[in-house]
Amino acid sequence: MNATALQDALAQKADRMQRCIARAREELRLAGAHFASDFTRQDAAILNVQRACELAIDMANMFIAHHQWGLPRSAREAFALLGEHQLLPGEQVQALQHMVGFRNIAVHQYDALDMDIAAAVIAHRLDALTQLAAVLLQRSLDSSAPESP
């Protein structure tokens, strides 16, 4: 994949991610104090968080593959690789890895999901995903800029 194709793919995924995050937050806002008992809004919000996380994982893996940094065996490892290559500070790597953990619980152990924690994640933790998208987009633009003579 050339640099332009990478930028286009990352931009499309970042846009979809933003829509998912906005939708999750809108469902939380609309449910208000009843989020824990509003199963329809919970499902819509959590599904959009899952999608946003999967888009972040896809973006990380695309960027890693483009730069030929290896083949991560897991999403957690993909984010760690971005940290090892100084794209992300350690605390952001950890925040993204926690998001993967949250996503895994939502996907595989939905009944174990604490809705107070889910609401806090939706309200306060999804910015880690948008920060990742911004970094990857900026770095893909920087790496494709023509070098000055």
Task: Provide the CB-side half-sphere exposure for 58 (13 A, CA).
Answer: 15
Cβ atoms of 75 and 115 closer than 8 Å? no
Q: What tokens appear for 36 in the block?
A: 């824990």
Q: Extract the tokens encoding 17.
A: 């991610």
Which entry of 41, 51, 76, 103 is annotated as an active-site residue? Answer: 103
Q: Give the active site residue among 73, 108, 125, 139.
A: 108
Task: Compute the distance between CA of residue 109 and CA of residue 133 in angstroms, rounded to an integer.
Answer: 27
Residue 77: both structure tokens together = 């490892």
34 is catalytic: no
DSSP state of 73: S
Residue 29 falls in the annotated catalytic set: no
Q: Which two tokens stand for residue 83?
A: 């940290």
DSSP H helices, the chain, are 3-31, 39-66, 75-84, 90-108, 115-124, 127-144
Q: Which residues carry out catalysis?
A: 103, 108
